């Protein structure tokens, strides 16, 4: 299963990156991922483990992916598994004339995907991804010029 989404953000690349990479501030503006923190490490680098709660169905689920790849301002990949589903989430930051296009691609596999589809999890996860991208856009564009 694959879920893709992207958004155009009218802000400088450094600002978009700073909003995204500061996991400790996600609770201030992020309506999708709650109780965000680093489990290992203190910054978004390869090998760090972050954790947050998602609410894709009824009850919140704590996710704790490990950062597999991090190129600041270009690409982040984190992955992990929970409840019989393994996920890999890729984020791409592409600077353009209007600011930054932020792309999100998630790959899911595992034996529990059949049940996830029955619960309409793909469409729910896609909606959460759109909300996350919208929140990153709003936070990055809300900053005063020069910050």
DSSP class of residue 147 equals -
CATH topology classification for 2-142: Alpha-D-Glucose-1,6-Bisphosphate; Chain A, domain 4 (3.30.530)
Residue 61 is predicted with a pLDDT of: 77
Residue 24 has pLDDT above 70, yes or no: yes
Q: Per mean pLDDT, which range of 4-8, 63-67, 114-118, 129-133 is the poorest?
A: 114-118
What ranges do the domains of the chain cover? 2-142
CA-to-CA separations, 39 to 4, 36, 60, 81, 89, in angstroms, rounded:
27, 9, 18, 15, 18
- How crowded is residue 32: how many other Cβ atoms within 10 Å of its Cβ? 21
39-77 pLDDT, tens digit per residue, is 998 899 999 999 988 766 666 778 899 999 999 999 999
* CA neighbours closer than 13 Å in the CB half-sphere of residue 119: 11
Residues in the chain: 147
User: pTM higher than 0.75, yes or no?
Assistant: yes
Residue 32 is predicted with a pLDDT of: 86
């Amino acid at each position: 299963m694959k879920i893709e989404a992207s958004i155009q953000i009218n802000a400088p690349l450094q600002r978009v990156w700073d909003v995204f990479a500061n996991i400790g501030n996600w609770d201030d503006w992020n309506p999708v991922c709650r109780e965000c923190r680093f489990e290992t490490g203190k910054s978004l680098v390869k090998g760090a483990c972050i954790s947050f709660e998602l609410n894709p169905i009824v009850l919140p689920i704590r996710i704790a992916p490990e950062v597999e790849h991090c190129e600041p301002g270009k690409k982040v990949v984190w992955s992990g598994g929970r409840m019989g589903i393994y996920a890999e989430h890729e984020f791409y930051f592409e600077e353009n004339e209007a600011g930054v296009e932020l792309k999100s691609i998630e790959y899911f596999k595992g034996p529990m995907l059949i049940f996830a589809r029955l619960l309409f999890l793909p469409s729910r996860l896609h909606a959460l991804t759109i909300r996350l991208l919208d929140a990153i856009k709003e936070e990055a564009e809300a900053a005063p010029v020069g910050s």
